[in-house]
Chains A and B, each alone.
Chain A
Amino acid sequence: MKFIKNKSGFLDRTKGANELIDLRKTISNHKRWDLLFMITGIIALMIAILTFIALFAQMLIDGMPRLSWDFFTSFPSRRPESAGILSAWVGTTLVMLVTAVSAVPLGVGAGVYLEEYAPKNLFTEIIEINVTNLAGVPSIIYGLLALGLFVYQLGFGQSILAAGMALALLILPVVIVATREAIRSIPIAIREGAYALGATKWQTVSDHLLPYSSAGILTGIIIGLARAIGETAPIITIGALTFIAFLPPSPVTNEFPFISFEWLTAPFTVMPIQMFNWVSRPEEAFQLNAAAAGLVLVVMTLTMNGLAIYLRYRMRKNIKW
């Protein structure tokens, strides 16, 4: 036990008082570590936030002057001042349409099956392990699959259909996991109530479980689509052209039957590809275009993610089983 001088400069007479002072010192030492770590934590968080702000500011400064109505309504061009993103955003919209139409029913169906129907056996476990593994496969691998399977084997070519389906495969695990989590959070009493009234399994699922979990499923779908919008690698891999100065055929026609599916097989470009194309050019003027396209892309994904976060927040607040 070491002796410590008290405030008045005398050595403490009692052992107890010494211990108390010692203890206080130890505690304040430890509290200092607390504070130190707290500051480190805030700094780490700040680094992440500042990076985001720098990224956004950089694009805003570079890209804002290029953003105008013309930018959205003109085709890409060899002259940077007159280049626009018309074919890119139309392409993105159409590709997302294909992605949503193919990934949502399959993902929700798989989620419902795994959560409500699947017996507990080895095969179900294999499916579950597969879903988690698929979520970890790098996106470019999906591009290779789409290149070999959709583009060449099935003969879709470098089309909107091939790209949309590649992205659908990519976001399938996201939709499945979101569906499962949303359905899992519904209490068992709801199911028992439905069965007690004579509902079959499918009636229970379609009339009760799906409507009650729709907000959660929707959140998953939005997050998945937001991810798909920004994916570049798989679309590059299927060999999508980067210079497209025309629009795919319109899905709505003047003649009977008024709907045409010709656009599915049309060549296309999407927002991230357009941006990548501009970034990789040496001229600075094109990089300003890239900044503008990036700004549009980031606003799109942030809006979608923000919507998903808001939905989840509201859901957590409103639903109390």
Chain B
Amino acid sequence: MLFVGNAKNCLIHPNILLAKYPANLLIQNPVSKELPSKKEHVGKLGYSYRRKIHERFIESILFLSALLSVVIMMAIIVMLVKESVVFFKHVSIWEFLTDTQWTPLFDDAHYGILPLVAGTVVSSVVALLVALPLGTIIAIYLSEFAPFAVREVAKPFLELLGGIPTVVYGYFALLFVTPLLQMIFPELPGFSLLSAGLVMGIMIIPYVSSMTEDAMRAVPMQLREGSYAMGATRFQTAIRVVTPAAFSGIAAAYILGISRAVGETMVVAIAAGMQPNLTWNPMEPAATITAYIVQVSLGDLPHGSVGYQTIFAAGLTLLLITLIFNIIGHQLRKRYREIY
């Protein structure tokens, strides 16, 4: 075994090591900064060269795997931007943002993202009208009202609900919810943003409720106890004390819920139809950005054609929307974590 006898042979100067790691992490005597001589060290468990290299090797492998997340993000952005740039050479950004028709696969091609954005907005709004109120009520109930046993059962159950594949929810929307809604609104077509949005809302409930509940749980007990001591009831405490205190966390849950609804694919692709349609009426069929990408992928578009590039332009639009929401959401979440 090769031992490091003095500071010269050391990969890193001991002073730096001591600065980097707490003194008791090092094998050498932490009090005297001089390393023992070579002779003294032989035969003892020591601070060996090979060991050091081994450690550095493993650290760099672990570092590379952590670095991968940055690489993936960069790759996503580079890939989407690269193909979109080619697309925007063909179609002006102005046309992309203002044209009211999206028919890239027809002979009379129009490239206006507006119909897809409208479909996305309508289906997300319907979903959020379901998910946010229900998710919040469930979270407040579970965190402030429910007995321990109910919470222990309900939380895993909601988690299971969140684990069901989205394609199954799509099936459910098309073959269960749409016929059900058609009993109430006979004029509802077979594909509609309404039924896709409703099911998407139910799907997002566990997501919103679990994050909202986490935020409410993070509110310290003393606030509640103070409120009870003043004679407030549970409801008053929940609404006037806990909810405002957890506000930024709840807002984060909402915003991440929005970004989830915007990026949801299979439910809308199955239940809302895949025809781009500039409408603000949830009773009509329409395509969302995600549904359009699915529609194109199902066909057989040659690599490098304009049709192929449109899905990257659509994907870039989607990524930008969700990234903005995600960044706001995580900032808010970080804030509520730091308060208490």
Contact = CB atoms under 8 A, between A and B. Distances in A.
Given A58-B172, A198-B45, A237-B297, A105 B138 contact: no
A207 interface: no
A290 B83 contact: no
Q: Is the interface of B mostly helix, strand, loop or mixed?
A: helix
B79 A136 contact: no
B293 A140 contact: yes
Nearest to B327: A133
A311 B290 CA distance: 35
11 contacts: A44-B134, A52-B164, A110-B66, A117-B63, A148-B312, A149-B79, A200-B55, A233-B266, A237-B293, A279-B167, A291-B175
Contact of A110 (B58, B68, B329): B68
Q: Is the interface of A mostly helix, strand, loop or mixed?
A: helix
Interface size class of B (residues with CB under 8 A): 35 or more
A163 interface: no
Interface size class of A (residues with CB under 8 A): 35 or more
A229 B134 CA distance: 28
A272 interface: yes
A217 interface: no
A301 B163 contact: yes
Interface string A142-153: 111101110010
B146 A58 contact: no
Interface stretch (A28-36, A83-91, A251-259): A28-36
A201 B290 CA distance: 45
Contacts of B290: 138, 140, 233
Contacts of B142: 41, 45
A192 B202 CA distance: 47
Nearest to B165: A230
Interface string A112-140: 11100111000000110111111011111
Contacts of B54: 200, 202
Nearest to A57: B176
Contacts of B45: 198
Given A144-B79, A233-B290, A136 B175 contact: no
B79 A145 contact: yes
B67 A127 contact: yes
Specify which of A33, A106, A230, A287 lies most central, judged by the most chain B CB atoms within 10 Å of its CB: A230
